[in-house]
Amino acid sequence: MRNKGDFLKLADKIRQKAFTFGGESCIMKGRPNHRKEPFDMSGTKHLALCMAALLAGGIFSACNGSADGESSLADSTAELQSTSSTTSLTNDSSTTTDNTVSHTTESQTDTTSATEDTTVTENTTLSSDTTVTETETTTYLTTTTEEFPDTEAPILLNGGWGTTILQGSDFDLNDWVGYADFYDPTPVLTYTGEVDTSTCGKYPICATVTDAAGNALSWELTVSVVESMPTGGGGGASPNLSFDSFMAQHAAEGVRFGIDVSRWQEDVDFEAVKAAGASFVIMRIGYYYDEINMDEYYLRNIAAAKDAGLEVGVYLYTIANTEEEIRQNASWIAEQLDGMELDFPVAFDWERFGNFQQFGMSIRDLNELFLLFAEEMEGYGYSAMLYSSKTYLENFWYVQQGYPVWLAHYTSETDYAGEYILWQRSCRGRIDGIDTDVDFNILYESELAKW
């Protein structure tokens, strides 16, 4: 195992004390050697600690039947929202509607939802105190010690509000909610109440997630069984942002502007992109599900962007949940780059939080996997950076103090307190040379200089 024990021990010590809001994070230039200074966790908070404080503040419901179990996310920036029944973490770079979690850089390919396609031929009645099927998992370093016991409850990532299923279909609550624990990769989900999928109606239930140490989290939700799935609805997409307006809004000394692209932008005229004022482009090199695939436009994009005189970087979208997969991811990236010089660190993009428990990982495990990815890339001569939304940088990731960060926060003015060099400002950008929406990014040269 990698020599990160001291760092994780420090994180555990902080976990047992009070947390502070705001994260410390940074980004580095595309070079192999990162700063070797000690990690300062004083400005960070990870998810288990944050949710412990929320619990102490009485935000979570105890499933006492006093709330109606319904909740809605009113803001597409998806901050931590407090409702009458519970609180859920969602991606602040996405819009969550009808229990569909739409992600950031992969928003057109990676949407976690349950739709009317989830049907079976037999009716199913799930009665009270049902234990939901556990997921398979890989063994990780998740054990606790007497010095650092596990005293925090699991946390809720997706409360499953708005869950709607077709009459006669199977119902597995694990498909509709998301949760995680700092240490335990397989916390157990149960619920009380009955969901009769053979009969249309609304079924209030109380869900509980319990970790191996006996810490538990409960919340209420209502499951709707319908004859046919509703269509339409939603608040509509946010308006497009022109690149000229984008640059004018954020013009300042020491900032530059750019985009990130994947196959969803199709054929990009990078000469026109540069003429419009962009100075850099970060592109998807590939994506990993069951196997690694190169982005269909990567080879064209990297060559054309360089020819246009744009600075370039790459990111890998991955759902890897084992050390072996992470090593394979890093090796594959290095093989494709083949020594090519980049202007940014290689970005690690892991954002499947809507049903996080199905990956059989703890919060600590995923942070460890990013550390491994960064070390593997360094071994190949490249630095790495962490891509994530504001919500998860503040509440889930705790390793970013020692690594560069690419922040995703779709708002005109971010209140993220950590350090970052790249801010993904919008996913609804329009720029000459691209016929579709594209992500707009701001580069902060003063932050780059720190690395």
Q: What is the mean pLDDT of residues 276-288?
A: 98
Buried b / exposed e along 97-117 (16+ C-beta atoms within 10 A): bbbbbbbbbbbeebebbbeee
Q: Per this entry, what is the length of the chain?
A: 451
- The token pair that represents 264 in the structure block: 């969803």
pLDDT of 92 over the 70 cut: no
CA distance 222 to 205: 6
Query: Mean per-residue pLDDT for 334-356?
Result: 97
Lowest mean pLDDT among 45-54, 221-230, 246-255: 45-54
Residue 77 pLDDT exceeds 70: no
Q: What is the pLDDT of residue 435?
A: 96
- For the chain, where do the domains classified as CATH 2.60.40.10 start and end? 47-226
Q: Are strands 255-261 and 216-226 parallel, antiparallel or unpaired?
A: unpaired
- Percent of the chain at pLDDT > 90 equals 62
SS (H, E, C) 259-308: EEECHHHCCCCHHHHHHCCCCEEEEEEEEECCCEEECCCHHHHHHHHHHC
Q: Average pLDDT over the chain, rounded to whole?
A: 77
The yes/no answer on whether domain 5-44+238-449 falls in CATH 3.20.20.80 is yes
Spatial separation of the C-alpha atoms in residues 355 and 90, rounded to whole Å: 11
Share of the chain above pLDDT 70, in %: 66
Query: What are the start and end residues of each CATH 3.20.20.80 domain in the chain?
Result: 5-44+238-449
Which of the given ranges, 29-38, 121-130, 330-339, has the highest pLDDT on average?
330-339
| 142 has a pLDDT exceeding 50 | no
* 449 φ/ψ sector (left φ>0, alpha ψ -120 to 50, else beta): alpha
Higher-pLDDT residue of 111, 264: 264
Q: If you count DSSP H runs as helices and E runs as strands, how many of each does the chain have, helices first?
A: 9, 24
Region 28-40 average pLDDT: 32
∠ at Cα 164 (211, 97), nearest 5°?
A: 85
SS3 393: helix
Half-sphere exposure of 116 (CA within 13 A, CB side): 8
Q: Which of 28-37, 127-136, 256-265 has the lowest mean pLDDT?
A: 28-37
Pick the closest to residue 2 from 287, 421, 326 (CA basis).
326
Interatomic CA distance for residues 165 and 175, integer angstroms = 11
CA atoms within 13 A on the CB side of 42: 2
Q: CA angle, corner 156, sides to 155 and 158, nearest 5?
A: 160
pLDDT band at residue 399 using 50, 70 and 90 as cut-offs? confident
Among the ranges given (74-83, 107-116, 120-129), the one the predictor scored with the smallest mean pLDDT: 74-83
Residue 303 Cα distances to 10, 306, 434, angstroms? 43, 5, 16
Return the pLDDT at 39. Answer: 33
Position 89 confidence tier, pLDDT thresholds 50, 70, 90: low
Largest CA distance in the chain: 64
Would the pLDDT of 337 be above 50? yes
CATH 2.60.40.10 fits 47-226, yes or no: yes
pTM, entire model: 0.73
- Is 20's pLDDT higher than 70? no
Answer whether residue 120 shows pLDDT above 50: no
Structure tokens at 390: 């504001």
Q: Taking the CA atoms of the chain, what radius of gyration do you get in angstroms? A: 22
Phi, psi of 358 (to 5 degrees): -75, -10
The encoded tokens of residue 12 equal 């555990």
As a whole number of angstroms, the distance between CA 190 and CA 132 comes to 6
Closest CA to 218 of 207, 204, 229: 207
